């Protein structure tokens, strides 16, 4: 499984960005997908997730500003980020998990990360 994230950049506070994560080597439509972020000196945190049935969750700090979505035809998951704040500055990673046979265990996969910098 390979995950290729893109779309990060430098934006002023109040601006918008859309992150994309293209997946290959997997039956994308069967996978739950997620976006995480890691700010300097901080632990990686879950930002948003979307199930294979397109049910979504968003962490409280981004509710109403960020929206995760997916396009199964393009094997891509998106994170639309509006009204960005300086505290959103972080490296954003896409993520998925796949079952390991019938073991009940899961293998986790990460994209390479894309940097989002929000200036005040």
pLDDT digits (tens, 9 = 90+) for 23-39: 998 888 889 999 999 99
Q: Is the dihedral of CA 3, 9, 11, 15 positive or negative?
A: negative
Mean pLDDT across the stretch 101-112? 92
Task: For residue 60, give the 3-state DSSP assignment.
Answer: helix
What is the pLDDT confidence band of residue 45, given thresholds at 50, 70 and 90? Answer: very high
What is the pLDDT confidence band of residue 98, given thresholds at 50, 70 and 90? Answer: confident
Cα separation, 7 vs 23, whole angstroms: 15
Task: For residue 84, give the 3-state DSSP assignment.
Answer: coil
For residue 86, the model assigns a pLDDT of 97
Q: Is the dihedral of CA 74, 97, 31, 84 positive or negative?
A: negative
């Amino acid at each position: 499984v390979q995950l290729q994230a893109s779309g990060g950049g430098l934006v002023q506070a109040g601006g918008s960005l859309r992150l994309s994560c293209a997946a290959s080597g997997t039956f994308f439509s069967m996978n739950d997908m997620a976006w995480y972020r890691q700010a300097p000196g901080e632990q990686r945190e879950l930002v948003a997730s979307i199930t294979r049935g397109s049910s979504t969750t968003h962490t409280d700090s981004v509710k109403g500003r960020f929206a995760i979505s997916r396009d199964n035809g393009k094997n891509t998951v998106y994170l639309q980020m509006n009204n960005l704040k300086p505290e959103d500055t972080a490296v954003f990673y896409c993520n998925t998990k796949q079952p390991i046979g019938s073991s009940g265990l899961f293998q986790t996969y990460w994209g390479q990360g894309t940097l989002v910098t929000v200036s005040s």
